[in-house]
Structure 1
Amino acid sequence: MTPAPDLTFSGTATINGVTLFAPLTLTIGAGAWTCLLGGSGVGKTTVLRLIAGLETGAEFSGQIAASDGQSVPDRVAYMAQDDLLLPWATVVQNVSLGARLRGEVVDLDRRDRLIERMRLQDHMAKKPAELSGGQRQRVALARTLMEDRPIVLLDEPFSALDARTRADMQDLAAEALQGRTVLLVTHDPAEAARLGQSITVMTQLGLTPCDPPKAPAPRHVDDLETLETQGALLKLLREAA
């Protein structure tokens, strides 16, 4: 994997001439977790998809650049809110999907290490319908890591999970994605307060930063500073509504 760069997203987007979000500049730190919060419809997912080089339906005017000057989309792994697993494929087939679609030889040792890291070694031959929600999300995370990209974009990947499974997945993702440049879009102030090393609230008018807790992530849910950050984020979100 190449070193994880800083990213800068700067610009505005419109849909059919209507402003989706006003001119903004978002800096995403190298090797750190940046959390982006905001209400529905402010353009958070559009920002992710623009960085990934995916279709958005919006007209973007601006620039997306990495600090090392290299192409950004070529170095992105994207994990959506839905696990998007192929229902007819097994765990091992879903984890190695990217390489298979590109016609590349699958690194079997790496695949099996990731599956073990996600505690899925007893489920390798199962299909998605045979897995729990948390197990499916771990398969999706393993598939994301299998791409071995320095930039990882996460679009509310844990929001559909119960509270305990969500916390477990947050811990696992924080450990597994160390050293990567991560942008996490979330609606959950508690999730951002646990994971964010940089936290920003997005509205149609721009961005408002929020100081993250000083403790290293993932933070304890009942830590006082984590709770204070959670409260500050909820206040910002309510004021923006």
Structure 2
Amino acid sequence: MEDKLRPLYLSYFMGAGAGCNITADKPFRVKYGAKLRAAYKKTYEGKQLYWLRTELLAVAGNRCPSCGGARPVTLDHHLAQTPFPEFAIFPLNLVAMCGPCNQHKSASTGKTIATAFIHPYIDQIPTVSFFAPTVTRANGSYTVSFTFTPAAIPDAMLAGRMERQLKRVDFNKALLPEVGELLNELALRIEREIVQPNGGVIDQPLIEAYLHANADRIEEQHRVGFWQAIMSRALANEAGFCSGGYRDLLARSPT
């Protein structure tokens, strides 16, 4: 089985993890599929392969590679175990993902390149900003939403795949709790780190500079165009927020 898996694993890599690029080895699936699916169950807590799960979760860190927001708590089979049992315990096929994204992705196998989910280990996403933010102030609070800008991605096919995936996982809905948490955090930090040390004076240019510097720090930690950095810059450019509107959020922030 190991000897036969090696060329199958190579074909997976050469096919960029897209089901439409991989030739099925049906006799292998019939003979070994059930054993490999059973082996995957050994990645559960307390089982022999639990170390594999913990290492893959560590690779993702604290950000789901699909939505970029929620914490990854599950392992997704990039190519589903049915009909691809040969990749059931192939580390390259196992992606740490948040629960909602895993559920939205479901058993997607990439029957065509256009419908294939982005492979976080193989596909190369350009280091550019591809979200346009919208800051809304209503009902005594702020919200921030994002619109994907496909023109920022040079590869039209890749841009189409990204746009399709972001719609499928409902990107803004997935980020909603994270956006709210970050808004509260920024409001507290502005008040305590900028305004209070300044004698309680709201210095708008100082707050704007703080938010831009915060965006630079986030991009250095994550990547260019990460949604948190885009959000911080959008708030820096929002005069109402920087001139005191951020205080709308303080009553909603934990102390």
**Shorter-normalised TM-score: what interval?**
under 0.3
More helix, by proportion: 2
Structure with a larger share of its residues in strand: 1
Structure with the greater alpha carbon radius of gyration: 2
- Structure having greater relative contact order (Cα 8 Å, sep ≥ 6): 1
TM-score, normalised on structure 2?
0.24
